[in-house]
Amino acid sequence: MTTEVAIIGDRFMLSEMFAAALHDACGDRITCKTLDLAWPDEPMEHGYAVPGMEGLKEYMGTPEMVLEHLGDAPVLVTHLAPLSRSVFEAAPMLKLVAVSRGGPVNVAMDAAADHKVLVVNTPGRNASAVAEFTIGAIITETRNITRGHEALREGTYRGDLYRSDVAGDELSDMTVGVIGYGAVGTRVVRLLRAFGTRILVCDPYVQLSAEDARAGVEHVSLDVLLQNSDVVSLHPRVTEETRGMIGAKELAAMKRGALLVNTARGPLMDYDALHDALVSGHLGGAMLETFAVEPTPPDLPLLQLPNVTLTPHIAGASLKTVRIAAAKAAEEVRRWLDGGPPLNPC
């Protein structure tokens, strides 16, 4: 007897990639039915004030769409499909939901618990991609890659970028402060070590690895990190404790001319305060991958500043991320079929 698995992918996490990983892990014990959503070509919803979608954010589609595709399948594998309370109430056969994300933000977890549906996720799936992107972001901003590129596109050959008061320093002579020492932060530290960078880490809930400690990485308080870093890079998860952790006070504590990099989440910082710090010249620049509101409004003041590089939340967009997430979700389904414990229950 085979188990039916409903897959709702999108144009990043393709349903065919999920299906291939599931068949590799589970063989002929499953059959798959697939559906792909239009994200990222069309924006996702955030649902903070949508009736019936309480507890959900960052999703695409409707509960009705989910139910139509799910049918009586006991397993759903998805990236962005919304699992509202109404879905759990109308799907008594559903037993397992595998979400290919670092957190099940598109799932009403209280409703899942009420209906005894196991929800699993894929933490760390894009850690390698975001860490590599962060290194690229630091180099792009400190070495004036964005400024040089934009000038050439406008027909200006900026030889002045070679001036000693404009040129950036090399990572081997810089101090980089890494806030958050989780799946991404630890990889950023590992990559920075190869450049000979002095590295400061702030995370009150973890200890440095023995390898990092031997390499001279320093575990410090937030105040010490801000005061001594040429670059500050954010990597914590958004919690009540970290929400808004970088505001006007923290920006003022940073070294004059320092660079701020945010490849984590927009709610970690006050973007109005950052704008003021950049305009005043207190900060030398910023590289921002995430924002308080996404998609960013076209009149966002930060878009007008010459000392900022911005990207549209793409740090995790690598094919390796897709392969890792699909394989992790498939392994969870295999373990469920075998009656084993989940690796990453939510």
Write out the catalytic residue numbers.
Answer: 265, 294, 313
Asked whether 177 and 229 are in contact (CB, 8 A), the reply is yes
Asked whether 132 and 314 are in contact (CB, 8 A), the reply is no
**What phi and psi values does residue 150 have, to the nearest 5 degrees?**
-65, -40
Q: Give the distance between the most distant pair of CA atoms in the chain.
A: 72
Those residues whose C-beta lies under 8 Å from the C-beta of residue 187, and which sit 6 or more positions away, are 127, 128, 130, 131
> Strands (DSSP E) along the chain, which ranges?
3-9, 30-36, 75-78, 96-99, 118-120, 175-179, 198-202, 218-219, 231-234, 258-262, 283-288, 308-310
- What DSSP string describes 110-151? HHHHHTT-EEE--TTTTHHHHHHHHHHHHHHHHTTHHHHHHH
Those residues whose C-beta lies under 8 Å from the C-beta of residue 343, and which sit 6 or more positions away, are 120, 328, 331, 332, 335
d(CA 142, CA 172): 12
The structure tokens 């299906």 sit at 19
- First CA to last CA distance, the chain: 28
Asked whether 126 and 318 are in contact (CB, 8 A), the reply is yes
d(CA 160, CA 139): 18
Cα dihedral 267, 268, 271, 274 in deg (nearest 10): 180
Instruction: Extract the tokens encoding 263.
Output: 């490849």
